[in-house]
Structure formats: C-alpha cells, structure tokens
Chains A and B, each alone.
Chain A
Amino acid sequence: MATLHTVNKSPFANQSLLSCLAHAKDGDTVLMIEDAVYGAASGTGLADAMAARSGVNLAALGPDLAARGIATERLLAGIKAVDYAGFVELAASHDRAQAWL
C-alpha cells in the first residue's frame, strides 16, 4: 500500500520536499517535478538529507530536469529520471497520490 508523493517546489525555497521526506514511508516513491528537481542534483546542501531516506524511492521528472539544464549525470545516486509516461506509470502502480503543495 505505497504512496506516490509529488513535490513541485525547490527545496531551497521552502520546506515541502523535506516535509515530504519526513512523512514518506519505506516503499513509497517521492517524485520531484517542476522546481523540485533542483533538489535532485548532487553536490547540494541537501544531498545528505536525501540519502538519509534510503527506504524511499526517489525520482525526478526528466522533462523538468532538461528544461532546467540539469543533466541526468548530475543526479544524486539512486534518483531515477522518468518522463511523463513514467509519471503516469508511477501514479498507476502506487495506491494513492499525495501532492505536497
């Protein structure tokens, strides 16, 4: 009974991504979309907080990464890039979706 969490705000602007990570359960997926994909890059001050939630699957929306000039090679280890079709698959394969607006 896993949840797909979506976060759309840069973690450098507000607490949504951190709050989401603090509430996500093992087996859940956190998908970063829109400005939240800035949190998916390696070498940021948030990398440790992201790595600490090892039981949670992390993903980022590829079209939003590309739009913001973030190459997939720059992603934190373990973060999977998905396209819109992959987003739909994640939504369908989890039991519920929770948007961290």
Chain B
Amino acid sequence: MEDDVKKFLYVNRKAPYGTIYALEALEVVLIGAAFDQDVSLAFLDDGVFQLTKSQDTKEIGVKNFSPTFRALGDYEVTKLYVEKESLDERGLTADDLQEIMWEDEDDDWAEKPSIRIVSRAEMADVFADQDVILSF
C-alpha cells in the first residue's frame, strides 16, 4: 500500500479571480483526493490571498469558491501550509484567513485546524519532501 502512495503537493502562488488558476487548481485537488495519495497544499506569495475571509464576488459576477476550502477536510485534505513571510509582506495575519478545520477520526473526531503557518525555510522543507509538485 505504502509503495503506491506518493506525496503530492499543490502549489498556489496566484491570487483568486484575476485569473482562473486558483479555481482550477482547487478542482484538481478535489478530484485528486479520490486517489488516496498523501496530499498537501502550499500557499505562498499571492497564493495566500486565496484563503482570506470575507470574499464577496457578487458584484463581479464570478463564482466565490473560497468556501470550498472549508470542505477540504471532508475530502481528507488536511494539510494546508501557508507561508508566514508571504502573509507579512501582504499585511496579513493568520486572523485574516478563513478557519479551516478537519475532523480526526483517530482522535475521537476532534476538530483540528488544517492551516499550518510555516516559515519560508519550513516551506522549502515541505517542497523538498515531495514526490510530485503540481503548480498552478
């Protein structure tokens, strides 16, 4: 079993709405979840803007897909690495991001946060630990 499991990382470096990359990346994550691989998501540079609270797209006429991030736990996608330096540079803190939780079935379904704020050096370690890196 373990032999068949690869570490997949989805790298998000682009902001939502201005281009479709963020939305179509999320569509890959949702489909990819069915393949039982070891999945992580990385958000750095402008990618951190994908996770902010209070996105309201009504007036631009584009679908607001940000609530979908909160459903990732149901797909067993529970590791969302967010780079602290990228937040800092953009005047954001962890409080500006949506609360994204998952339920740990091995721990009496305890709710745990999916977002892990990491330093740039730690993000580099996450990258270096992967088998397959998909960038959008």
Contacts and interface: CB of A to CB of B under 8 A. Distances in A.
* Bound together: yes
A15 B133 CA distance: 19
**A interface majority secondary structure:** mixed
B133 A98 contact: yes
Contact of A25 (B14, B128, B135): B128
Interface in B89-136: 120, 123-124, 127-128, 130-133, 135-136
Given A19-B13, A23-B120, A98 B44 contact: no
B120 A1 contact: no
A71 B123 CA distance: 35
Report, nearest first, the 5 A-B pairs whose CB atoms are least far apart.
Answer: A23-B124, A98-B133, A99-B135, A101-B135, A19-B45
Given A19-B13, A97-B133, A98-B135, 9 more contacts: A1-B128, A19-B45, A23-B44, A23-B123, A23-B127, A96-B132, A98-B133, A99-B133, A101-B135
